[in-house]
Amino acid sequence: MLAPTLTNTSTNPTTSAAAAAPTTQANALSSDFETFLKMLTAQARYQDPLEPLDSSQYAAQLAQFSMVEQQVQSNDLLTALATQLGSGNMAQMAGWIGMEARTTAPVAFDGSPLTFYPNPAAASDEVQLVVYNANGAEVQRNNLPVSAEPVLWAGVSDDGSPFPAGTYRFEVESRANGELLVTDPAESYARVTEARMQDGQTLLILQGGVPVLSSDVGALREPG
């Protein structure tokens, strides 16, 4: 079994880029400002002496350039701050590796029974656990008690043969008087094997390679 890993796909390159970004932007702004002043000087030099430009127009152009300059600098500061926060979040997520996370993500089935935590609608009189394979095809329906108590899925088909190993998705359907009230994804626990940064968010990889955002984790527990 491969050891759990903590991956930060943007450690050194991103940090270096973030550090260099303000300098690069500052140089670009300095160059742009010099170009702006040259254009402003040329505009004043070659203006029509019979219809000279109002001095307020120069002031407005300078103010507009200053606003753009400040906006670019603000964006650089926000980018650097987001990078620092992302690194801190990764350090926190390192403690999640090896823990079991409770999510509604698909579950990797290896032949061992799986435990689910349904939350049926209070008004329902019929509840079913619906099982879908990795291709999205429904493979089984099991009747459940109208209760939020944990339920065990043995991974055995109606004819008694075991389901093949793979990734399965589980939903809980709540009905009343034969009418469907609501369909909710079933919650279950799976071990966290990896954490990585992706698009500014922390992505957790669960056992079996199932990805889930850290914000979608409802609970954590020690492996049991």
Using the Cα atoms of residue 216, residue 221, residue 222 and residue 224 in order, give the sign of their dihedral. negative
Q: How many residues does the chain have?
A: 224
* Domain 106-185 is found in CATH 2.60.40.4070: yes
Predicted confidence at residue 215, as pLDDT, reads 87
**Cβ distance 126 to 143 under 8 Å?**
yes
The domain spans of the chain are: 1-104+190-224, 106-185
Query: What does pTM read for this prediction?
Result: 0.59
Predicted confidence at residue 38, as pLDDT, reads 74
Residue 214: burial class (beta carbons within 10 Å; 0-12, 13-18, 19+): middle
Predicted confidence at residue 110, as pLDDT, reads 93
Instruction: Identify which of 44, 47, 92, 38 has the alpha carbon closest to the alpha carbon of residue 65.
Output: 38
3-state secondary structure of 164: coil
Q: How far apart are CA 72 and CA 18, in angstroms?
A: 14
**Which tokens hold the place of 146?**
């109208």
Helical segments of 11-109, H only: 12-45, 55-93
Per residue of the chain (224 residues), give pLDDT as tens: 444 444 444 444 444 444 444 555 555 555 566 776 677 677 667 666 666 666 666 667 666 766 766 776 666 666 655 555 555 566 677 788 899 999 999 999 999 999 999 989 989 999 999 999 999 999 999 999 999 999 999 999 989 999 999 999 999 999 999 999 999 999 999 999 998 888 878 889 999 999 999 889 999 999 87
Predicted confidence at residue 117, as pLDDT, reads 94
Instruction: Identify which of 115, 137, 145, 141 has the alpha carbon closest to the alpha carbon of residue 129.
Output: 141
| β-pair partners for 205 | 194, 211
Q: How far apart are CA 185 and CA 93, in angstroms?
A: 24
Predicted confidence at residue 84, as pLDDT, reads 52
b/e string for 15-47 if b means 16 or more Cβ within 10 A? Answer: eeebeeeeeebeeebeeeeeebeeeeeeeeeee
The C-alpha angle 89, 108, 118, rounded to 5 degrees, equals 85
3-state secondary structure of 39: helix
Q: How far apart are CA 168 and CA 134, in angstroms?
A: 6
